[in-house]
Structure 1
Amino acid sequence: MNRFVFTLLASLLLPVSAVYAQDDCSHVTSSLEMVPCSEAAKKAADTQLNVSYKQLMTRLESDYRADPALGAEYAAKVKESQRAWLKLRDANCPLEAFEIETGMPAHVFAVNSCIARMSRERSAYLDKIAPGQPEQSSDKSVACPSDDFMPFLAAFSADGQSQRRFTALTVKSLALKPTAEAGRFEPIVTGVKGAELGYPLMAPIPSRKILGVKIQELDDSHSIVVDKRAGWSHVKVFNFSRQACWVLEGVEDWSISNKDLIVASKPKLSKEENFCYQRAEAFEALGAPEDQPLTVELFEATLENLLCAARSGNPLASYKAAILSLSGMAPQVPTDTLESLFKAAATTLPNGAMGLSEFYCDGNELTFDGPCKDPALAEQALMGAVKMGNAVAISKLGSTFASGEWGTKDPSRAMACYQLSLAQGYENANLGLEHLKKNSTTEIKPSYCF
């Protein structure tokens, strides 16, 4: 896609470091991937370590309610041990990279990999302290289904009784809650009793090939199940660790409840569309920094809700949905849907009209190098933005007259457009104007732009 479309996408295009999240980098074959992969692996391991530490503290608080003083003493010992271990890790890892020049990619990779490895090992160690095993009985049916995660998951997910049996006494529960800033949400983690969860927690997962389910086996003792079967806006994540047997230790609910939304935040939208638009903004705000493990899912949820908000033709929701679809951060919508979105956006938004113009040139393609597919429609759409007085669109129109790329080469009209765009404050139009003068063998007199 050319520079013009990249300008339209600037607000949504983000780094792609999330593809490396929770990866041990064993797949990396290019030196260019070493550092970002190791950084992401370190971050994922640190996140898991923090989860294991917080869960241990939650277990101690729950298990020692009858003797809070003893529980507090136990927790203090854990804190002291953790501080000492962190100093040891941060002192040890530079030793593994000592013979590599500091600052070189190989040095950064070696230190990051060491930190990630030691953090995963520490996480597994913390999980074994005061494990809070689920209740067992003499009934052989309660025995651990398998040491291998996938057979265990198939048995665990079969019914609510099995799920209850292999859920920890205390579970880390994550839910999205509104912040003091209107329209913004943040993930809040609390500890809840496993017995208080609403079973069944998930539908059966008999194999890996279940549409909408992603299974990540992080290491021998930690696995994650991402369940999107209820839709992109209702993703749930289940965290398992292996102790004497695999056990569910964390449940994450990444949905946003209607009760946390404002009934009428935007005029001319139905109640449902209002809720969808608010969800879209909230999910986008969560996904944009890419500091959440579910970055991809958050952008999927953003698109799902923007499409909902655009059902009756809201220009802004339509424009945002079209741009996100073309950004590569979310699934692409069908071509006819994309055209409808841009047409709705073009009714009142200059950027929407310019997006429609680009659509007629490039189609529903993320990268397009060829000539404009439909110059007549592209010019007609661009004129919509021009007539709204958009200086960028006026400069773009000038460039088409200067190059003749849409069939009409007219240096006089090009100059008139560039000058008009400049007069309206778009300074980059001066670049086109100077290029036009430089490549002309005769003096150009401006005629009219449109």
Structure 2
Amino acid sequence: MNQFIGLIVGAMFSGLLGLPTAFAQDDCNEITISEQIDRCSDVAKNDADSQLNTSYHQLMARLEAQYRVEPDTGAAYTAKVKEAQRVWIKLRDANCPLEAFEIKPGTSAYVATVNNCIARMSRERTVFLDNIAPDIVSGSAVGRRSDVSCPSQNFAQFLPAFSANTESQKRLTALAVKILVLKRTEDPGRFVPLITAETGSGLAFPLMAAMGEGKTEGIEIEPVDDRHVNVVDKRAGNSNIKIFNFSRKACWALVGVEDWSISEKELVASSKPGMSRAENFCYQRAEGLGGLGSLEQYRLTKELFEASLENYVCAAESGDPQASLSAASLSLSQMAPQLDTSKLEALFKAASTTPSGALGYATYFCNGNSTDYNGPCLHPEQAEREVIRAVSMGSTEAINYLASSFESGELGTKDMSRALACYQLSADKGSPQGSDSVKRLVSQGSAIKASHCL
């Protein structure tokens, strides 16, 4: 039963969100298997490539700002940087397989060597780009802000001074700032991070709410290296997280703002009939944030899943079966916090008007609010009732579930004749699992004769 329950929950969750098992960056702190080596080197490569992309966009914006009065010179400078970057990327991508030439392609060692080489070269290139046309906040003689003073080289002391008010933020923000926002794609329910660059005139200050000295609840300070620090601001909740990127040269300066919320202008007010406007927005945010979390490419993977669950629960207030099933499945996926038992049962009950929801409710009756229950089905009669409801709604998966339960006796009744009848019904509906199971049971001997499934 547990194996089948795991398949049911996994199938529901993957089908709704396209989510694989979560892989946290923290897992790279203690590498124990070769798969982790591959994944962690891939994380390192993606992180370095993201920082490189950030630095490149910031350089483009710096050139635009600094050469606004000399547009021809600025255009020539920009074209030269673009050409150099294209050539450098070709060099990097040709150089790194060379480092791994004596390692068998496709092995963990080969993949890790290439990924780590790309990460190293990307970090070096980031430093190079950061030093092209630096602005005055970063310590350059080029610029127009002669009144800049540095509150502190100690970032813990710098941050409260930076966040204090609009003027301090304007003064300690780079001329060009990378902006990341989430944009809707043509694929319904999918969002992607879009990176642009803004100059000071295009920014809406204050960018960050003020914070006092010492530790501030909801604020996480994460050093990237000795010259870069990210500030993760969760004070507005998991659905409205912002990450502020700071870089240090002569002084610390804000160089990037990542907004991991989904704004209302990216949402469709009536995407699901029967939901209020607010519930519709919650549902779309749940789908979008969960989809981003499933990619496992971002620092906020854990928080994206948590935000997805919070928004599914909000959308499920409408009684919508799909939102309810998504919330319940995500709660049991171990990718987000588990809901309390009464809430989980209410969600499965609301979802049970659909075939997949009824199957989910059956797994709840057998497993309870547990992700690792190994005993017999807790409430077999209720579970069988929900499976039969799912069968009556046309679910081939439910027929196979019922057949499996008759074969194993997991729901209290062991009957090989009924198991064969159910597998045959499933096969007649085109199920490969049903066909394979019929062949398997028939091959065991002619004593097994199909009777009736329901």
Measured against the shorter chain, the TM-score band is: 0.7 to 0.9
Cα gap change, 1:179 to 1:13, in 2 (>3 Å): closer
2:313 is paired with a residue of what secondary structure?
helix
**Is residue 443 from structure 1 mapped to residue 450 from structure 2 by the alignment?**
no
1:354 aligns with 2:359: yes
Does the Cα contact within 8 Å between 2:231 and 2:245 map onto a contact in 1?
Answer: yes
1:316 maps to which residue? 322
Is the CA contact (8 Å cut-off) linking 1:237 and 1:252 kept in structure 2? Answer: yes
Amino acid at match of 2:325: Y
Amino acid at match of 1:383: I
1:2 maps to: 3
RMSD: 3.0
Q: Report 1:37-48 matches (<5 A).
A: 37-48=40-51
| 1:261-300 equivalent positions in 2, closer than 5 A | 261-300=267-306
Q: What residue is the counterpart of 1:412 in the other structure?
A: 417
C-alpha distance 77-338 of structure 1, shift in aligned 2 (>3 A): same
Partner of 1:343: 349
In the TM superposition, residue 430 of structure 1 has moved relative to its aligned partner by 3.2
Does the 8 A contact of 2:18 with 2:291 survive in 1? Answer: no
Residues 1:371 and 2:376 aligned together: yes
TM-score, normalization: structure 2? 0.86
Q: 1:433 aligns with which of 427, 430, 438?
A: 438
- Paired residues of 1:18 and 1:290 also in contact (CA < 8 A): yes
Letter paired with 2:279 = E
**Which digits, 9 at most, give the CA deviation of each residue in 1:407-446, with x for residues without a partner?**
2222333233233333333342234334444556x72344
| AA aligned opposite 1:367 | D
1:28 aligns with 31
Distance 2:101 2:451 in 1: 69
Q: What residue identity is the alignment partner of 1:430?
A: S
In 1, Cα distance between the equivalents of 2:393 and 2:89? Answer: 59
* CA deviations over 1:111-149 (Å, ceiling 9, x no partner): 32222122112212211222223376668xx32412x43
Q: Deviation at 1:219? A: 1.4
Q: Deviations over 1:78-130 (max 9, x none)?
A: 23443454455445545644554555432332332222122112212211222
The letter of the residue matching 2:24 is V
Cα distance in 2 for residues equivalent to 1:412 and 1:100:
56
Q: What letter corresponds to residue 152 of structure 2 in structure 1?
A: P
How many Å separate the matches in 2 of 1:292 and 1:417? 45
Structure-2 change in CA distance of 1:439 and 1:158 (3 Å): farther
Give the length in aligned residue pairs.
443
1:177 and 2:178 aligned? no
Q: How far apart in 2 are the matches of 1:99 and 1:445? A: 60
Whether the 8 Å CA contact 1:127–1:241 is kept in 2: the answer is no
Asked if the contact 2:351/2:357 (under 8 Å) is kept, the reply is yes
Q: Does 1:145 align with 2:146?
A: no
Structure 2: 5+ residue stretches without partners: 138-143
Deviation at 1:269, TM superposition (A): 1.5
- Specify the SS of the correspondent of 1:341: helix
Task: Sort the Cα spacing of 1:306 and 1:32 in 2 relative to 1 into closer, same or farther, 3 A.
Answer: closer
Structure 1 residue 318: deviation in Å? 0.6
- In the alignment, does 2:76 pair up with 1:69? no
Question: In structure 2, what is the equivalent of residue 121 of structure 1?
Answer: 124
* Farther-moved stretch of structure 1 (224-233 vs 42-51): 224-233
Alignment CA distance shift 1:263-1:439 (3 Å): same
Residues 203-252 of structure 1, C-alpha deviations (whole Å, 9 max, x = no match): 34558865443433221222222222212222212111112111111112
SS for the counterpart of 1:327 is coil
Q: Distance in 1 between matches of 2:124 and 2:30?
A: 21
Change (3 A) 1:404 1:207: farther
Cα pair 1:277 1:309 within 8 Å, conserved: yes
Question: Taking CA–CA contacts closer than 8 Å with sequence separation of 6 or more, which of the two structures ends up with the larger relative contact order?
Answer: 2
Counterparts of 1:377 and 1:41, CA distance in 2 = 48
Deviates more, 1:201-210 or 1:276-285: 201-210
Query: Which runs of no fewer than 5 residues in structure 1 stay unpaired?
Result: none
Q: What's the secondary structure of 1:333's corresponding residue? A: coil
